[in-house]
A and B are shown apart, each in its own frame.
Chain A
Amino acid sequence: MTGQFEGALGIEDVLAREGVYVGATAGVSMWPLLRHRRDTVVVEPCAGRLRVHDVPLYRRGDAYVLHRIVEVRPDSYVICGDNCVEKERGVTDEQILGVLAGLYRDDRPVSLDSRAYRAYVRAWCALYPVRRIWKRARAKAARALRSAKRRA
């Protein structure tokens, strides 16, 4: 036997059976860290409660979400994607399937213990207020532009 094909299994099944899930991510909510269907994540089951800046994989209804913890509360987490400005509150440990343990940017492995990754996390999270102002201003400008076009 040269391979084990597990395409029919869900992520929960793979994590429970193998102790690790590896796959490409879809969406732009964790950009610039993770690019749509291009970069690969390595997710492992959690060992206890998570910490600020950990990136859990959790269920939101039928969807799988991989976003960053920005605040740890006694009974839940506040979570926000690196490319998002709206925070999600009330994510519980019961919803969490695993936590990001490593990633590949294209074919290049990136360690979460590396200096470059840690610098990225610190800088990107510190820039959150600036990103929020920028995104809201941009959305407001887009709305104004659409409104002006309708009136013209």
Chain B
Amino acid sequence: MARIKDGFVLREVAGQAVVIATGEASEGFHGMVKLNGTGKRIWQGLTEGRTDDDIARDLAQEYGVSPERAAADVREFVEQVREAGFLAS
């Protein structure tokens, strides 16, 4: 199960979800990551400690897409987050 590293937090600014680093995490990351609605939902699911399958199931229901499409979106997002170094090992 993917887990977000401590210090990376979601903020809402003028209706836009962005992820930034705080605490020790901000020593190595100074940027910000914009998330769209789907990305925000996946991020929140990851920070709540939910499994990729659970997150994909909720996404499929909420956005009315197929379970396969939702699962692919979750996989893509988790891979982006992993490459950015936001996942705890």
Q: Footprint of B on A, CB under 8 Å?
A: 1-9, 11, 14, 18, 20-24, 26, 37-38, 40, 42, 102, 104, 107, 109
Whether B14 lies near A2 (C-beta < 8 A) is: no
Distance (whole angstroms) from the CB of B12 to the closest CB of chain A: 8
Residues of the A chain whose Cβ atoms lie less than 8 Å from the Cβ of B31: 5-9, 14, 23
Q: Is the CB of B34 within 8 A of A4?
A: yes
Complex alpha-carbon distance, A12 and B58, angstroms: 37
- Majority-rule SS of B interface residues: mixed
Query: In the complex, are the beta carbons of B32 and A6 less than 8 A apart?
Result: yes
Q: How far is the CB of A12 from chain B (nearest CB, A)?
A: 12
By the criterion CB–CB under 8 Å, are B33 and A40 in contact?
A: no
Residues on the B chain within 8 Å of A23, using CB:
20-21, 26, 30-32
A37 to B23, CA, bound (A): 5
Task: Give B1-39 as 1s and 0s: 1 = Cβ < 8 Å from A's Cβ atoms.
Answer: 000000001011110101111111011011111111011
Shortest Cβ distance from residue A29 to the other chain B in the assembled complex, whole angstroms: 16
